[in-house]
Amino acid sequence: MRVDVQTLWLRVSVVFAPPGSRLAPIAGNGFATLQYGHVVANLDDAHNLFVKVMVETGTIGLIMIFILMQQMLSLGYRLIRRAFDAMHRGLGLCLILAIGSCAVANCFGDRWTYLVISGPLWILVVAGVRANQLRAEQNIRENALIAM
């Protein structure tokens, strides 16, 4: 069954902001609203993480997702600009590329909730956080040696 995209977005917008509800656009409609709401025909997903988060958790949840992605991007950028080791700079570049590809992939489906797909991303984030900690510790040691 072919569904008109305009009809799908119109129905999703009605679920996002039902008539008479002032709180839904801010706080959302709750977990699995799209899945159990049957927005159009037999479709139970928006096939876009950002739309799904916007409907289920509102503008607050969408802002939180964007802040999370921005923090991961800034961690990668920080590693590229400030790391002493070439491997850590490469890790920062990999992190930026992974977040960028994750953002694009999530526009075409909910890839964030699948551990098999998002697992390597979180491993890169953890490695980036540790590399940033090592860089900070190395700066402290170097400053202590200079002060002596």
More confident residue, 113 or 100: 100
pLDDT, residue 13, reads: 66
Q: Are 15 and 55 in contact (CB under 8 A)?
A: yes
Q: Is the pLDDT of residue 21 over 70?
A: no
> What is the per-residue pLDDT across 118-143, written as a single tens digit (0 to 9) for each?
899 999 999 999 999 999 998 888 88
Quote the pTM value. Answer: 0.79
Q: Is the pLDDT of residue 52 over 80?
A: yes
Instruction: Give 50's contacts (C-beta < 8 A, 6+ positions apart).
Output: 62, 65, 106, 107
Ranges 16-20, 23-27, 77-81, 86-90: which has the least confidence: 16-20
Q: Distance between CA 133 and CA 82 in Å, rounded?
A: 12
